[in-house]
Structure 1
Amino acid sequence: MIIRRYLVKQVVETSLVVIALLTLIMMGGRLIKYFGIAAQGRLDAGVLFSIIGYRLPEFLTLIFPLGFFIGLMLVFGRLYIDHEMAVLNSSGLSRNRLARLLLPLTTCFLVIQLILMVWVSPWGLRQYEQLSSTQAVRTGFDLVRPKEFVGSGAYTIYASDLSEDRKNLKDIMFYQRADKEGKPNVVILAREAKRVDIPNDTASVVDLIDGRRYELYPGQPRYTLTEFKQYRLRIENNKDADVTGDQAESMRISQLWEKRSDPVVQSELGWRLFVPFAIVVALMLATALSEVNPRQGRYYRLLPAILIFASLIVALMAVKTRITRAELGIWAYPAILLIYAVVTLVFLRKPNLKAKLNLKLNK
């Protein structure tokens, strides 16, 4: 059908432009953040774009429905402004009929969204966590700069000199803050340190040569001193600095199903299976909210419509948080979608309802 092809072409082109623009804005901000981390020496600049690539599907899961909705609003708004909708209506094609013509396209977008949320986004998060683990967001001795005190979590490290390959350090001062009350703080002074490479170990391991190790008890007038010729020191990666996704978000769908009794897993499972159907609600909302007077302009209702659709996403996020806390069940996802769909369907079935409500309020 010619009209269907025309609508599909317009919606696809407009939606893709909007999705690309939103992706550029969101990922641009994220890239700036990673550049800042790399500038501090905590991240290898060579993996920046790999990280962005792995995180991209996660962002697309939210950008994709919004881009599709804005694309629908812009296309339907243009049809009203250019009087094409009036011509179509006079030919026997109502706005509801036009929406039904877009159902195959909406189904395609729904399938793409399902694939993104069920498989692609978790895979990207797993790859990102693996890359972050191997990079360790460069903690411990990877942060050392000559003649500077460098902090990394509970550690503070100083070295007067550092070889180009970062394998040998001179005049080392290492401080470790106690992680529990009653435990001593540790200060180590050494003449030299040599890096030790251990396969499949992300921790920083060094052999300290000719030094002293102090154990200091905060608030107590006592300490312990140990002298050594050689002392192997292992520094675990700073977990706070490692930017990883939530464990449930990176789990495979089969793993989520096996642990579906856990509230956190339930929230993630429901999020992946039900949130893609916001694409269908987007079609219904756009059909109901896009009607404008040619004198008002095609953007007259765009911002309020975006806020309404955003409220749906926010409501789903709030439900996810409540399910995580075991305050709601997984049924809350379809309930929210159904509420928005039913209210929208009422306005679509009764196009004069808004005018009647305004009339009653004015009285």
Structure 2
Amino acid sequence: MSILQKYILREWFWTALAVSILLIVVLLGAYLGDILKDIAGGKMPAGLIGKQLLLHMPEALCNILPLAGFVAVMWGLGRIYRDQEMAVMRSSGFGWTNLLKPLFALLIPLAALLLMLGLFIAPKTALMAQEQLEEAFRSAAVWGLQGGKFHVLKQGELIIYAESIEEDGSTLRNIFIKQRQEEREQVWVSGTGRYWMDSATGDRYLVLENGKVTDLAPGRLDVRELSFARNDLRLPEPEFRKRAKAKINAVASLELFYEGSAESVAELQWRLSPAITVIILGLLAVPLAHSEPREGRGIRIVLSILVYLFYANLLY
């Protein structure tokens, strides 16, 4: 590889790295917003934010690396054209074919990385994230219940308060629960309770012991009071169970290959698409970045955005 080719490759590499870091921050910020929304709705434990973000990283890289490679080639060549460096290179015999070696030196490693991420690493981390959620929901402390704090679930229809939680993470003391069902409200009070998850169904419960429940209709003189030795209160369904059927992204690629169903083939093709996309967009970026000495950069940038949006819409 000549000095000029190494110079262009270095320009593309650092641009791709900078764009990747920026897009990772943006995309993980979007993931964080979704996670916080699930936590607020009682669908995800608050103690798993960092781990869940880390496990989403391979999926995020599959989404951003093709765009980062495309922008790197566009931006790097655009700067070379703008600074008249390409004119000097051409005068020394540097032609279009000389761009292929640094171009593929950038795109082929990116494509190989995307194949590893899409076929092996991302499905594995997706499975780990799902298993982590399932395991976390077996513990009241990890799920998000904290002693001395009110927890509002189901958009305000369920409010849970426990004065303290024992070290085992499942035994609760001095529990107060307010639940709204249609036009009636129930207030549950219990000295002790246990958090547990049914291993067969995945349902989560608070088992209240030796307590009292008051059932009333707000605004009416209709109040019922009942004492109980034990009462199982079902908690909201966790997010990982609601999305169980959509978790094909957590299935190993080899299993999808042997299964051979239309859904499995589509998922395999989707995992291969980032590696193919980075090659196609990288090759398209070379002619799109070409500009005349006095031509503005705005037209090329707008055109490249339209090309990327068109290609992305074809995929989605």
* TM-score where L is the length of structure 1: 0.68
Structure 2 counterpart of 1:347: none
Q: How far is the alpha carbon of 1:306 from its aligned partner?
A: 2.4
Structure 2 counterpart of 1:228: 228
Distance 1:148 1:199 in 2: 24
Structure 1 counterpart of 2:174: 170
Structure 2 counterpart of 1:278: 277
Task: Supply the AA of the counterpart residue of 2:5.
Answer: R
Structure 1 counterpart of 2:311: 312
Q: How far is the alpha carbon of 1:304 from its aligned partner?
A: 2.0
Distance 1:137 1:302 in 2: 51
Task: Supply the AA of the counterpart residue of 1:85.
Answer: M
* Conservation of the 8 A alpha-carbon contact between 1:55 and 1:124: yes
Deviations 1:230-270 (A, max 9, x none): 34x26355234878683111111011112221x32222111
**Of Structure 1 and Structure 2, which has the larger fraction of its residues in strand?**
2
Do structure 1's residue 150 and structure 2's residue 152 form an aligned pair?
yes
Q: For residues 154 and 248 of structure 1, do their structure 2 counterparts lie closer, same or farther at Cα, with a shift above 3 Å needed?
A: farther
Structure 1 stretch displaced more, 37-46 or 243-252: 37-46
Deviations 1:119-144 (A, max 9, x none): 12112211222222233499899558
Distance 1:266 1:153 in 2: 39
Do structure 1's residue 192 and structure 2's residue 196 form an aligned pair?
no
Task: Supply the AA of the counterpart residue of 2:263.
Answer: V
Structure 2 counterpart of 1:353: none
Q: How far is the alpha carbon of 1:291 from its aligned partner?
A: 0.8
Distance 1:142 1:105 in 2: 45
Deviations 1:22-50 (A, max 9, x none): 11122234335545665788755543222
Structure 2 counterpart of 1:56: 57
**Percent of aligned pairs with the same amino acid:** 22
* TM-score where L is the length of structure 2: 0.77
Q: Give the alignment of 1:262-301 within 5 angstroms.
A: 263-298=262-297, 300-301=299-300
Structure 1 counterpart of 2:220: none
Structure 2 counterpart of 1:121: 122
Structure 2 counterpart of 1:357: none
Q: For residues 270 and 154 of structure 1, do their structure 2 counterparts lie closer, same or farther at Cα, with a shift above 3 Å needed?
A: farther
Structure 1 counterpart of 2:219: none
Q: For residues 142 and 267 of structure 1, do their structure 2 counterparts lie closer, same or farther at Cα, with a shift above 3 Å needed?
A: same
Structure 1 counterpart of 2:238: 239
Look up the SS of the partner of 2:293 in the other structure: coil
Q: How far is the alpha carbon of 1:298 from its aligned partner?
A: 4.3
Do structure 1's residue 66 and structure 2's residue 85 form an aligned pair?
no
Distance 1:154 1:294 in 2: 62
Distance 2:309 2:227 in 1: 63
Deviations 1:212-240 (A, max 9, x none): 67999xxxxxxx99853234x26355234
Look up the SS of the partner of 2:56 in the other structure: helix
Distance 2:174 2:147 in 1: 11
* Conservation of the 8 A alpha-carbon contact between 1:41 and 1:143: no
Q: How far is the alpha carbon of 1:157 from its aligned partner?
A: 4.2
Task: Supply the AA of the counterpart residue of 1:254.
Answer: L
Task: Supply the AA of the counterpart residue of 2:77.
Answer: F
Do structure 1's residue 208 and structure 2's residue 230 form an aligned pair?
no
Distance 1:61 1:67 in 2: 11
Task: Supply the AA of the counterpart residue of 1:8.
Answer: L
Structure 2 counterpart of 1:250: 250
* Conservation of the 8 A alpha-carbon contact between 1:197 and 1:205: yes
Q: Which runs of 5+ in 1 are unaligned?
A: 179-184, 217-223, 318-363
Q: How far is the alpha carbon of 1:74 from its aligned partner?
A: 0.9
Q: Which runs of 5+ in 2 are unaligned?
A: 217-223
Q: For residues 142 and 152 of structure 1, do their structure 2 counterparts lie closer, same or farther at Cα, with a shift above 3 Å needed?
A: farther
Structure 1 counterpart of 2:106: 105
Q: For residues 135 and 243 of structure 1, do their structure 2 counterparts lie closer, same or farther at Cα, with a shift above 3 Å needed?
A: farther
Do structure 1's residue 7 and structure 2's residue 28 form an aligned pair?
no
Distance 2:149 2:54 in 1: 36
RMSD of aligned alpha carbons: 3.9
* Conservation of the 8 A alpha-carbon contact between 2:111 and 2:276: yes
Greater relative contact order (CA < 8 Å, ≥ 6 in sequence)? 2
Q: How far is the alpha carbon of 1:6 from its aligned partner?
A: 1.7
Look up the SS of the partner of 2:290 in the other structure: coil
Q: Give the alignment of 1:31-46 within 5 angstroms.
A: 31-35=32-36, 45-46=46-47
Q: How far is the alpha carbon of 1:113 from its aligned partner?
A: 1.2
Deviations 1:255-306 (A, max 9, x none): 1112221x32222111112441111111221111111122234454123202
